[in-house]
Structure 1
Amino acid sequence: MTARAVVVAHPADLDAAAVRAVAAGATVELDDGLAGRLGATRAEVLAALDGGVPAYGVSTGMGALSDVALAETDRGDHSARLMLARAVGGPPYLDGTETRALLAVRLRTFLAGDAGVSAELCAWLAGLLASDALPAVPRTGSGAAGEIIPLSHAFGHLAGVGRWLTHAPPEAPGPLGPKEGLSLLQGTPVAAALALLRADDVRRLETLWLTTAAAEVGLVGASRDPYRPALARGDDVLAGVLADLAAALPGVTDDAPVRRLQAPVSFRVVGHVHAHLRRAVAALDGAVDRVLDGVGDSPAWLPGGSEGEEDDQDYQGGVFVGTAGFHGLELAAGADTLRVALAHAATVGAARLHRMLDPRTSGLPAQLSADPGPHGGLVAVHKRAVAAVHAVSGWSATPLGAAETSGGQEDVQTFALEALERLRLTVAAAHEVVACELLAVHQARLLAPHLLAEAPAPLAGLLDRLAALLPASTLDRPWGEDLQTLLEAALTAPAVGPDE
């Protein structure tokens, strides 16, 4: 764990970049001024509730039971009881990084004051992060309109139940106050946290993949025509991809000329495939930012005189407002869009790998074998890449969920968490494809070292890392061991956000 602390004086200080840092191990320190503002808002909320202002899920039941008014004797422990019957999940659980990101996003959504929770509850969340006490949160099985199932596991310990991914905190806080249990279950903090991390995964992988493609272009002597900067007219994202590709492309030498006027499609479309990946990542980043800045609590507390509200008499004292902040459509759609882009990139990568094994395209020994016939080369490595692509290629890209739950109160879902689980599995499959491509690049370089002799810095660095990780022999061996080495080597760049 790193000792770095993210100091938060304003909600915006705990932005996406800060959440990434917290997920990686940083702690959170809440400024006294921010804690004071949270305390003042909490006092307003309690005063409204004490004054008899009705509030969904606080003075009433939830879901289909929202018409049931709670007796005063039932309201005291209602916040804790909300967690119990909704904790229906189980393993597999989110990992430690994912859980830390979830806690950070949950904290961020409380800091604007819409939830009306206490400064003490916010401090408790920061304390969980500081002690790395992480609850066990189910990864799958969330068929609700929002995220009440995983969130009831994330915060069930405040009701005296739940499992821990690491260890329990040193001592439990006081009982949850009115509305706090409800607020802990609101919004889309799980999906936002996972979306942020998956976007980072793809951003890192895309950088490695583009350099790998540059190596493949050099090895097969593909024409550079499709990568000319002039072809990005009007498309800044494509222009950026082509510039990065140009920076990694090896030079064309006299003894390694361009082999054909047109390379196979899988080589010619590198720029467009990666540009689409970058656009899809940026779209998911934007969806996460809107969750961090938006109103996710329901009912949300809007104090008197809030920006954009009419200046009427009824509103001056503040009001509880029902919201749709639980509807994670943009996160679900963004995750599926990125997944489709990633699955397509994996398909293209597997196709490039196949062409690398074909001497008609590459000019290299068949199947990248040291001795074609007696040695099989990498033919089965391509089969593994094909299996990885097939495993993730059949899912629907549309987040549809017209399934009624909660007695008809919840009559549509976005299934954002399921979309993000599909994206996670697709990221893993894409890593397998890239590992297969990297192994082929290493083998081809050993068979024909002159082809990448003039590699610029980005590619030269990658080739050096491959040489350090993999055997220098081209003879047949259990290639799966090499692939596992590559998958575990973290060849991707450190995690960075779009503006870092």
Structure 2
Amino acid sequence: MSETTVLVPGQVSLAAWHAIYTGNNVALDPQCHAAVTASAHTIEAILARHEPVYGINTGFGKLASVRIGDADLATLQRNLVLSHAAGVGDPLPVPVVRLVMALKLASLAQGASGVRWQTVEHLQAALARGLVPVMPGQGSAGASGDLAPLAHMTAALMGVGAFIVDGARVPADVALASAGLAPLVLGPKEGLALLNGTQVSTALALAGLFQAERALQAALVTGALSTDAARGSDGPFDARIQNLRRHRGQIDVAATLRTLMEGSAIRASHRTGDERLQDPYCLRCQPQVMGACLDVLRQAAMTLAAEANGVSDNPLVFADSGDVISGGNFHAQPVAFAADMIAMALCEIGSLAERRVAMLVDSALSGLPAFLTPKPGLNSGFMIPQVTAAALVSENKQRAFPASVDSIPTSANQEDHVSMATHGARRLAPMADNVVSIVAIELLAAAQGCDFHAPLPSGVRLERVRAALRAVVPRLDDDRHFAPDIEQARSLVTSGALTDAAGGDVLPRVVAD
């Protein structure tokens, strides 16, 4: 049974968001009730005074100057949701949508959006009962909020559209009734509050961050194993070198590589008398490259932690003064920059891993049999897996072009600069998946390379990694169907079994506990 993560709005850790992403239930801290209610009362007071306030009794976007009468306020909010539910493309994955709902809950519960407590409860109840709105992934430009996808979420709560329930797509009205929930009827400002915000781009970027952390950790393990397979030196990982450079990520990565290779008999066997003075960059510069990736991911994590705990609605309600102020917190530029940083890091993690595979299969560089097969010529060995890795690296290079430098005017030029955060973050999952495949191929190649050094073992941690792989993938003596081997290695990476075998305690973290 899943554990429950309690959201204290404005104070939720990245580890807590990760727990929700991986399946934890969600509950709001009940102390936020007072702030939400005070905010809703502020909206009621404005309506009683018949003041024109954007999003409450006016049109939206370019139509903000159009005044809406009291009799049409409920229709205004419903029309907003249905007209904005114009997304296209494949639905967002269920874990991402659950994270979107939790992020929206935490934002609304800070009492700056003017929604009623019963509306917050409705969203919380849908999440608790396993109702996951079908949200098309395309249609947001990352400013004015993630309007189209969030409109699909809100429409489902209203009984329009569909939910995913236990893996099946169910009409929204049917799913709500089965869960004992009435369709949500929106009050003034509530449609806008539910649609405005960066929750979709933030959820996608967080998912990418979580996947990137695992990919980086796994690539450090396979990088250490490749170093042993190539009879490379651990001298470049010496702490004194890193301390002179002063980058925290580089220092942390080098310490990890030293620990992973500690006690390697393969390394000890060529410590003296080796004519090679320096290793290729793919081995020697791991602290510098992977350390820079680690630093970039940590910076992105700081940005996303702030965004996830912030309020990105518009206009914002300040109950203490009774003010409702229009601003631009919906603009997702911080998320766009974070997503671009994660994309660049993913690209480089995969690129360096592929270079190590290419080095291992090249007998002139590695000193190992050509293409890591005992009988080259009769067998092709790792020839094409390296090509696959290279192809995936090039895919990621194409995807890594910054999304944040693009903009296109929308809403009749009222919204004349947008962040493109949403699709910038949406590309991270396929990029991370490519890196997993690259690292899986490196794991297979590095283990095969180390097999040629038998009976000399690697260090204790790397031997545990080799044992975990060999439990599901035997040594490649003669050519066989290669794809199943890659899938088995991928599973070790995605499940965390690879990093667990190496000892997760020695691996650098991006998302702190």
Q: Same fold (TM over 0.5)?
A: yes
Query: Distance between the aligned counterparts of 1:376 and 1:174, measured in 2?
Result: 61
1:349 aligns with 2:348: no
Question: 1:84 Cα shift?
Answer: 0.9
Q: Which amino acid aligns with 1:220?
A: A
Question: 1:225 Cα shift?
Answer: 2.5
Query: Distance between the aligned counterparts of 1:330 and 1:13, measured in 2?
Result: 19
1:467 aligns with 2:470: yes
Q: What is the CA deviation profile of residues 86-131 of structure 1, one whole-angstrom value per residue up to 9, with x for unaligned ones?
A: 1111331111111111111111111111112122122222212211
Question: What is aligned with 2:405?
Answer: 400
Partner residue of 1:298 out of 296, 314, 322: 314
Question: What is aligned with 1:47?
Answer: 45
Question: What is aligned with 2:443?
Answer: 438
1:117 aligns with 2:127: no
Question: What is aligned with 1:70?
Answer: 68
Query: Distance between the aligned counterparts of 1:32 and 1:243, measured in 2?
Result: 44
Question: What is aligned with 1:309?
Answer: none
Of 441-450 and 149-158, the range deviating more from structure 2: 441-450
Question: What is aligned with 1:412?
Answer: 417
Contact 1:196–1:284 under 8 Å retained in 2: no
Q: What is the CA deviation profile of residues 461-494 of structure 1, one whole-angstrom value per residue up to 9, with x for unaligned ones?
A: 2111111120234211111121122223435358
Contact 1:29–1:126 under 8 Å retained in 2: yes
**Mapping of 1:327-342 within 5 angstroms?**
327-342=331-346
Contact 1:17–1:497 under 8 Å retained in 2: no
Q: Which amino acid aligns with 2:460?
A: P
Question: 1:368 Cα shift?
Answer: 0.3
Q: Which amino acid aligns with 1:488?
A: S
Query: Distance between the aligned counterparts of 1:144 and 1:208, measured in 2?
Result: 31
Q: Residues 194 and 402 (structure 1 numbering): CA distance in 2 closer, same or farther, change over 3 Å?
A: closer
**Mapping of 1:26-37 within 5 angstroms?**
26-37=24-35
Question: What is aligned with 2:163?
Answer: 164
Query: Distance between the aligned counterparts of 1:206 and 1:444, measured in 2?
Result: 21
Question: 1:449 Cα shift?
Answer: 2.5
Q: Percent identity?
A: 27
Contact 1:221–1:259 under 8 Å retained in 2: no
1:196 aligns with 2:212: no
Partner residue of 1:126 out of 120, 124, 127: 124
TM-score, structure 2 length as denominator? 0.89
2:324 aligned counterpart, secondary structure: strand
Contact 1:369–1:474 under 8 Å retained in 2: yes
Question: 1:173 Cα shift?
Answer: 4.3
Query: Distance between the aligned counterparts of 1:331 and 1:144, measured in 2?
Result: 9
Query: Distance between the aligned counterparts of 2:249 and 2:402, measured in 1?
Result: 23
Of 340-349 and 100-109, the range deviating more from structure 2: 340-349
Which 5+ residue runs of structure 2 have no aligned equivalent? none
Query: Distance between the aligned counterparts of 2:196 and 2:84, measured in 1?
Result: 13
1:320 aligned counterpart, secondary structure: strand
Query: Distance between the aligned counterparts of 1:357 and 1:201, measured in 2?
Result: 28
Question: What is aligned with 1:261?
Answer: 277
Q: Residues 32 and 435 (structure 1 numbering): CA distance in 2 closer, same or farther, change over 3 Å?
A: closer
Q: Which amino acid aligns with 2:281?
A: V
Of 154-163 and 326-335, the range deviating more from structure 2: 154-163
Question: 1:429 Cα shift?
Answer: 1.3
Q: Residues 219 and 66 (structure 1 numbering): CA distance in 2 closer, same or farther, change over 3 Å?
A: same
Question: What is aligned with 1:79?
Answer: 77
Q: Name the Cα RMSD after superposition.
A: 2.0
Of 261-270 and 289-298, the range deviating more from structure 2: 289-298
Contact 1:376–1:476 under 8 Å retained in 2: yes
1:407 aligned counterpart, secondary structure: coil
Contact 2:105–2:123 under 8 Å retained in 1: yes
Question: What is aligned with 1:360?
Answer: 364
How many equivalent residue pairs? Answer: 484
Q: What is the CA deviation profile of residues 419-476 of structure 1, one whole-angstrom value per residue up to 9, with x for unaligned ones?
A: 112222211111111011011022223333335x04132x222111111120234211
Q: Which amino acid aligns with 2:159?
A: G
Question: 1:41 Cα shift?
Answer: 2.6
Question: 1:398 Cα shift?
Answer: 4.9
Q: Which amino acid aligns with 1:246?
A: R
Contact 2:142–2:198 under 8 Å retained in 1: no
Question: 1:198 Cα shift?
Answer: 1.2
Contact 2:228–2:450 under 8 Å retained in 1: no
Question: 1:6 Cα shift?
Answer: 2.2
Question: What is aligned with 1:136?
Answer: 134
1:205 aligns with 2:215: yes
Q: Which amino acid aligns with 1:380?
A: I
Query: Distance between the aligned counterparts of 2:33 and 2:67, measured in 1?
Result: 32
Contact 1:140–1:418 under 8 Å retained in 2: yes
